[in-house]
Copies of this chain bind each other. A is one copy, B any other.
Amino acid sequence: MSLFRLDASILPSTSSSRALADLVEEQWTTAHPDAGVHRRDLTVDPIPATAWQNAVLGGFTPEADRTPEQREAIALRTAIADELVDAEALLFAVPLYNFGVSQHFKLWFDLAYTDPRIDPQGTALRGKPATLVTVLGGNYSPGSPKEGWDHSTGWLRRVLEDVWGLDLRVVQRPFTLVGVNPALDDFADIAASLKEEAETGARRSGRELAELRGAHPAA
């Protein structure tokens, strides 16, 4: 029983999503120093690109007839689902990439979603407290020129809230490329304020996860 944390940034050393997730985690470990944090990092420990197909095909195949690749994929998805089912609270740090969903997160979700406990019929995650931290290089808020170009957050909410039924908090930090891309230098002030807002939200959500410890039936 612990906090489960998933990271999906492909640039760990300069990751804005990790920095925000650290703030969430800090609140958890401060409140529950002995509860522990279990991590999975999709860049440091990548899931093979063929894992999902193999798990799906293995699911259609009687156990005795499965190929070694299918067995391996099913064992991995069971380990991944165990992490979610066993945890008291969940933390996902997922950047927007190229206006869409992180390919690594989608692969991880597709694979996890083949486990009978958390597949379309599974209910093991309903009501579990969770935080999604997501970061966007640009600003896609209403009224901005790129409004509607964030095709990631909507899907992430869809599967985490509507499909798995998590009790989800979302912390979003836009404009992370301000200070990196000189074309965005004019937005320094608004970017700084959005960063501060996101950091406050991250700490708040971490406190909420910590306070909810023990409230979920699976805890």
- CB within 8 Å of B: which residues of A? 10-11, 43, 46-50, 52-53, 56, 97-101, 103-104, 106-107, 109-110, 113, 149, 151, 154-155, 158-159, 163
Are A103 and B151 within 8 A (Cβ)? Answer: no
Contact A159-B98, Cβ < 8 Å, known A10-B52, A49-B47, A52-B10 = yes
Shortest C-beta distance, A216 to chain B (Å), equals 24
A10 in complex: contacting residue of B53, B97, B98, B163, CB < 8 Å: B53
- State the number of copies, please: 2
Contact of A98 among B50, B100, B113, B149 (CB under 8 A): B113
Closest chain B CB from A71 CB (angstroms): 18
Bound together, the chains give a CA A177 to CA B189 distance in angstroms of: 50
Judging by beta carbons under 8 Å apart, are B48 and A43 in contact?
no
Residues of B within 8 A of A53 (CB): 10, 43
Q: Is the CB of B52 within 8 A of A46?
A: no
Would you call B107 and A100 a contact (CB within 8 A)? no
Q: Please, which residues of chain B bring their CB within 8 A of the CB of A10? A: 52-53, 56
Give the distance in Å from the alpha carbon of A98 to the alpha carbon of B47 in the complex. 18
CB distance from A186 to the nearest CB of B (A): 19
